[in-house]
């Protein structure tokens, strides 16, 4: 036997409100239409739903049991409607986000945590990669957006890139490193110290070579290489080694790990951290919410970094 679930919802409202008229008002229906629905339901099950001759209406044992089921159906429908509404508003759903490891771990991860504090029903599936793999993931639909540093000339023709943060690199070291006390750092000052190298297939490794070449130190000693950001930070904080990192990563690391950027100008690529998406492709509604949030957070972070660098220059 198949029973119309709407009839059960109507029954639940009648029982809850205590009468046909009251139930109809609660549902926004007319009393005659509600009466017809109950008559159809009684015909369907072949048994009365209400005790005859009782005012106010009193459900039979079966009527009360069916009303409880109708209440559950109504609650499930309301929950489903809320879910659809939240999904359309970008307040629920699933996002697939890929990005370059150093920036994702050093800058974006804390922003993701804050976003999910506000939007707990949005699930974020994060993966790591560089331009080639992220580009492939976007094209084949495996990713909704990618977060990575790019120069405008690197943006694929079928994609759009929205800058978020400057991609300036700095030479980083632990807080209290001997070089942080030097008023003017020379090549001779840097020469004795070993270097931490990012993974060789990463753009940051090429940045390291470029930066050292720009300050005349092409012959350098590496004492740790290939690690992810957490291991790079740990080795950096526990030794006198140096490395090249995006300034935004060093700035954000200060919350938990005492790192500093040496006041030494180095050559670095002209690129920005930003959002890469496929042009003219509409992703899940939550993508727009996430992008809007990241833009606001990065704008505040950029202002804080600019202020910090201005203070550092005045002190210097």
199 pLDDT band, cuts 50/70/90, is confident
Among residues 58, 88, 118, which one ends one of the domains?
A: 88
Q: Specify whether 105 is located in the same domain as 238.
A: no
Q: Specify whether 145 is located in the same domain as 285.
A: yes
CA distance 142 to 25: 48
Query: Can you give the C-alpha Rg of the chain in angstroms?
Result: 31
Average pLDDT over residues 95-110: 95
The percentage of the chain sitting over the pLDDT mark of 90, rounded to a whole number, equals: 70
Tell if the pTM clears 0.85, that is, is over it: no
Average pLDDT over residues 101-129: 94
Q: Specify whether 161 is located in the same domain as 306.
A: yes
Longest dimension (CA), the chain: 103
282 pLDDT band, cuts 50/70/90, is confident
Average pLDDT over residues 144-163: 94
The percentage of the chain sitting over the pLDDT mark of 70, rounded to a whole number, equals: 98
Q: Does a structural domain hold residue 17?
A: yes
Residue closest to 78 by CA, chosen among 9, 7, 4: 9
DSSP string, 39-90: HHHHHHHTS-SB-TT-SS--B-HHHHHHHHHHHHHHHHHHHHHHHHHHHHTT
Q: Specify whether 184 is located in the same domain as 251.
A: yes
CA distance 277 to 259: 33
Q: Specify whether 135 is located in the same domain as 191.
A: no
Residue 26 is part of a domain; what is its CATH number?
Answer: 1.10.10.10
Q: Specify whether 48 is located in the same domain as 113.
A: no
pLDDT of residue 295: 96
List the helix and strand counts (H, then E) for the chain: 12, 10
Among residues 88, 119, 152, which one ends one of the domains?
A: 88
Q: Are strands 145-150 and 272-278 parallel, antiparallel or unpaired?
A: antiparallel
Query: How many CA atoms, within 13 angstroms, populate the side-chain half-sphere of residue 116?
Result: 13
Domains of the chain: total: 3
Q: Specify whether 103 is located in the same domain as 227.
A: no
- What pairs with residue 171 in β-bridges? 244
Least confident range of 95-104, 111-120, 212-221, 281-290: 212-221
Cα distance from N-terminal residue to C-terminal residue, the chain: 84
Among residues 54, 88, 122, which one ends one of the domains?
A: 88
Q: Does a structural domain hold residue 266?
A: no
pLDDT of residue 313: 59
pLDDT of residue 196: 94
22: how many CB neighbours lie within 10 A of its CB? 17
pLDDT of residue 54: 73
Q: Specify whether 178 is located in the same domain as 223.
A: yes
Q: Specify whether 140 is located in the same domain as 61.
A: no
pLDDT of residue 182: 85
Q: Does a structural domain hold residue 32?
A: yes
Q: Does a structural domain hold residue 248?
A: yes
* Neighbour-count burial of 42, counting CB atoms closer than 10 A to its CB (0-12 exposed, 13-18 middle, 19+ buried): middle
Grouping H, G, I as helix, E, B as strand and the rest as coil, residue 91 is: coil
* Neighbour-count burial of 113, counting CB atoms closer than 10 A to its CB (0-12 exposed, 13-18 middle, 19+ buried): exposed
pLDDT of residue 35: 93
312 pLDDT band, cuts 50/70/90, is low
CA distance 135 to 146: 8
115 pLDDT band, cuts 50/70/90, is very high
pLDDT of residue 110: 94
The boundaries of the domain holding residue 61 are 5-88
Average pLDDT over residues 225-248: 92
Q: Does a structural domain hold residue 108?
A: yes
Q: Does a structural domain hold residue 296?
A: yes
Q: Does a structural domain hold residue 279?
A: yes
Q: Specify whether 277 is located in the same domain as 161.
A: yes
Order of strands across the sheet with 169-174?
243-246, 169-174, 259-261
Residue 141 is part of a domain; what is its CATH number?
Answer: 3.40.190.10
What are the two backbone dihedrals, phi and then psi, of residue 174, each rounded to the nearest 5 degrees? -75, 155
Q: Specify whether 181 is located in the same domain as 159.
A: no
Mean pLDDT of the chain: 91
Q: Does a structural domain hold residue 295?
A: yes
274 pLDDT band, cuts 50/70/90, is very high
Q: Specify whether 201 is located in the same domain as 247.
A: yes
Task: Give tens-digit pLDDT for 19-30.
Answer: 999 999 999 999
């Amino acid at each position: 036997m198949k029973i119309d679930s709407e009839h059960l919802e109507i029954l639940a409202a009648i029982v809850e409100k205590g009468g046909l008229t009251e139930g109809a008002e609660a549902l926004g229906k007319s009393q005659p239409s509600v009466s017809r629905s109950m008559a159809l339901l009684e015909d369907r099950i072949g048994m009365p739903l209400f005790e005859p001759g009782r005012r106010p209406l009193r459900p039979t044992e079966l009527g009360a049991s069916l009303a409880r089921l109708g209440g559950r159906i109504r609650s499930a429908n309301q929950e489903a409607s809320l879910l659809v509404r939240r999904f359309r508003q970008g307040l629920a759903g699933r996002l697939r986000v890929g990005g370059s490891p150093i920036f994702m771990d050093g800058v974006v991860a804390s922003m993701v945590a804050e976003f999910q504090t506000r939007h707990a029903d949005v699930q974020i599936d994060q993966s790591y990669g560089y331009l080639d793999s992220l580009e492939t993931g976007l094209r084949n639909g495996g990713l909704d957006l990618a977060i990575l540093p790019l120069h405008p000339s690197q943006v694929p023709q079928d994609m759009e890139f929205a800058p978020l943060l400057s991609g300036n690199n700095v030479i980083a070291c632990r807080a209290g490193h001997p070089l942080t006390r030097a008023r003017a750092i020379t090549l001779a000052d840097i020469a004795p110290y070993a270097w931490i190298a990012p993974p060789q297939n990463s753009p940051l490794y090429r940045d390291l070579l470029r930066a050292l070449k720009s300050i005349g130190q092409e012959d350098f000693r590496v004492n740790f290489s290939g690690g992810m950001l957490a291991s790079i930070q740990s080795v950096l904080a526990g030794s006198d080694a140096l490395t090249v990192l995006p300034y935004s990563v060093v700035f954000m690391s200060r919350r938990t790990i005492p790192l500093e950027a040496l006041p030494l100008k180095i050559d670095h690529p002209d690129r920005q951290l930003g959002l890469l998406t496929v042009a003219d492709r509409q992703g899940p509604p939550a993508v727009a919410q996430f992008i809007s949030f990241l833009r606001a957070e990065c704008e505040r972070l950029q202002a804080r970094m600019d202020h910090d660098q201005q203070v550092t220059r005045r002190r210097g």
